[in-house]
Amino acid sequence: MAETYQNGFAEVNGTRLAYEVAGTGHPLILIHGGLVHRRLWDEQFPVFAQHYRVIRFDIRGFGDSAPSETPPYFFEEDIHSLLRFLGVEKTQFDLPTLFTDRYIHLSGLLLKYLSRHEMYRFEHKKRTNVC
């Protein structure tokens, strides 16, 4: 991995989120789906890091992140806090290509939340043969 690689834990919102960052440029956050963890993006992570500052993390209770100690919690607040912890002012997102009603709903909530905090930029690019 490039020398711009970092990993660790962010203590945010009463929990500990595991994260990894690689590359330079505009931030791109990769969000895993349910029942998996950040390593879902193992093949794409180094490829995207050639063009972006790529951030991936484990959602609460998944992978190396701690479970929620203070339910209820808000997914979008965790992401917002993680981005602030990492010093990110604006970002774009990539979600798994399998979209269910739940993913569409969570994506909409997240984008609405971050848009209110002026942290999100929508940029749709069709990607082919990434890996």
**Residue 6 clears pLDDT 90, i.e. is over it:** yes
Does any domain span residue 107?
yes
Backbone angles phi and psi of 50, in degrees to 5:
-75, -15
Does any domain span residue 125?
no
Predicted structure pTM score? 0.73
pLDDT tens digits, 44-83: 999 999 998 999 999 999 999 998 777 787 878 888 899 8
Does any domain span residue 50?
yes
> At 11, is the secondary structure helix, strand, or coil?
strand
pLDDT of residue 30: 84
What is the identity of the amino acid at 25?
Answer: G
Does any domain span residue 127?
no
Count of structural domains, the chain:
1
Does any domain span residue 123?
no
pLDDT tens digits, 83-127: 899 998 877 665 554 344 444 445 555 666 566 655 544 444 444
Does any domain span residue 79?
yes
Domain housing 11: 6-116
Q: Give the CATH number of the domain where residue 43 resides.
A: 3.40.50.1820
Does any domain span residue 102?
yes
Q: Which residues lie closer than 8 Å to 117 by C-beta, 6 or more apart?
A: 80
